[in-house]
Amino acid sequence: MAQAVRGPGVKAAARSAAGSRTGGLRLPGARAVARSAAASAAPGGAELDEFCDAIWLEDGLARNSIDSYRRDLAQFADWLAQPPRETGLLAAGRVELLDYLAHRVRIGARASSSGRLLSAMKRFYRFMLARGRIPVDPTLEIDAPRHVRALPHSLSEAQVEALLEAPDIGDPVGLRDRAMLEVLYATGLRVTELVSLTLPQVSREMGVVRVVGKGSKERLVPLGEESLAWLARYLAQGRGEILGARHSTALFVTSRGESMTRQAFWYRIKLHGRSAGIVQPISPHVLRHAFATHLVNHGADLRVVQLLLGHADISTTQIYTHVARERLKDVHRRHHPRG
């Protein structure tokens, strides 16, 4: 069943009386977009509106990815508009792009941040070139800055167990949090994928969850017996108590009858991390890293981990082999007599 998708760059959305439903099914792009006049009037605003609309409609990029593209390019447009440059996105050339990248280095931007910016620039200028808006792509001969990928922060298996046991399961909200943590550790979902889950996406009979990930790509991820048991307990004893008389298709709900936000779950996992005595920084993504790291440590094939995580490229998943290698080195140092 097609699902409604919120468009990019949206500050407020209002239902469209015409075209909001076709054949009784809600379609992507069915909401009318009430754009922020301030955003469109800002330097490069019209071009960014056009670009963001196109990559949403044509490529189906996730809202967070489109917001990131727009934010990076809007900052570049603001910089271009300042004296002595006083130019726009479509008039900028290779020199202006390199000057801006150098400016970001001077103000302390990380290589990964500059790499993401250049990726947005390349996509934007390829789009404008294809539509005949510029005569040449100014990013053609600009290479992304090299950077050493840091090993992801993770948790030990003992720390994960302590975190999972932290919520008060005698309380409906605590039971919901326990189920969310169990599902997150069992599946390695991104936090947006987790909080966006709906009841129809979960097949308890098959023991899988249907996940809509980046680029609206779908994948099936096994839940495992433990998380299925906690999910069943939450659905039987907690979800109805939280909702009260309200109705919702969201799997993990709040007292307002809505799905939980990413920020709210971030706060909840930090709260439970403190209760579990975990002093290192913790976030939903750290538990996703723990899921992948523990799979690799126990011998899982890297291609399987790639599929479960929803990585488009195996190179993204390969970082976990380095994590496992570092763990082996640490064990050797601590336990070998000549370590």
Q: Which position among 153, 210, 214, 327 bears the catalytic label?
A: 214
Q: Is 147 a catalytic residue?
A: no
Strands 218-222 and 31-34: unpaired
Predicted local distance difference test score (pLDDT) of residue 217: 77
Residue 76 clears pLDDT 90, i.e. is over it: yes
Residue 98 clears pLDDT 50, i.e. is over it: yes
The more confident residue out of 205 and 297 is: 205
Confidence of residue 322 (pLDDT cuts 50, 70, 90): low
Q: Which position among 100, 125, 185, 320 bears the catalytic label?
A: 320
Q: Is 247 a catalytic residue?
A: no
Reply yes or no: is the peptide bond before residue 28 cis, omega within 30 of 0. no
Per DSSP, what are the bridge partners of residue 25?
22
Q: Which position among 190, 272, 289, 294 bears the catalytic label?
A: 190
Predicted local distance difference test score (pLDDT) of residue 335: 54
Give the helix/strand (H/E) hosting 220: strand 218-222
Residue 67 clears pLDDT 60, i.e. is over it: yes
Per DSSP, what are the bridge partners of residue 33?
13
Q: Is 336 a catalytic residue?
A: no
Predicted local distance difference test score (pLDDT) of residue 143: 78
Predicted local distance difference test score (pLDDT) of residue 11: 33
Predicted local distance difference test score (pLDDT) of residue 39: 52
CA–CA separation, 159 and 128 (whole Å): 49
Report helix, strand and coil shares of the chain as percent, to nearest 5.
55, 10, 40
Lowest mean pLDDT among 50-54, 120-124, 229-233, 291-295: 291-295
Q: Which position among 85, 122, 126, 285 bears the catalytic label?
A: 285
285 half-sphere exposure, CB direction, 13 A CA radius? 7
The more confident residue out of 140 and 5 is: 140
Closest CA to 73 of 39, 105, 102: 39
For the chain, percent of residues with pLDDT exceeding 90: 44
CATH 1.10.150.130, the chain: domain bounds: 1-9+30-148
> How confident is the model over 195-208, as pLDDT tens digits?
999 999 999 999 99
Predicted local distance difference test score (pLDDT) of residue 220: 87
Predicted local distance difference test score (pLDDT) of residue 28: 39
Predicted local distance difference test score (pLDDT) of residue 24: 33
Top CATH class of 157-335 equals mainly alpha
Residue 313 clears pLDDT 70, i.e. is over it: no
Q: Is 217 a catalytic residue?
A: no
Q: Is 288 a catalytic residue?
A: yes
Predicted local distance difference test score (pLDDT) of residue 151: 54
Confidence of residue 307 (pLDDT cuts 50, 70, 90): confident
Lowest mean pLDDT among 46-55, 63-72, 265-274, 294-303: 294-303
> How confident is the model over 20-59, as pLDDT tens digits?
333 333 333 433 343 444 455 567 788 999 999 988 888 7
* pTM beyond cutoff 0.75: no
CA–CA separation, 180 and 98 (whole Å): 45
Cβ-based neighbours of 53, under 8 Å, separated by 6 or more: 7, 8, 9
Q: Which position among 176, 268, 288, 289 bears the catalytic label?
A: 288
Cβ-contact 293, 320 below 8 angstroms: yes
CA–CA separation, 122 and 108 (whole Å): 22
A 10 A CB-CB count for 24 gives 5
Mean pLDDT computed over every residue of the chain: 80
CATH 1.10.443.10, the chain: domain bounds: 157-335
The second-level CATH assignment, the architecture, of 1-9+30-148 is: Orthogonal Bundle (1.10)
> How confident is the model over 103-148, as pLDDT tens digits?
988 898 877 788 889 889 999 999 999 999 999 999 998 876 665 5
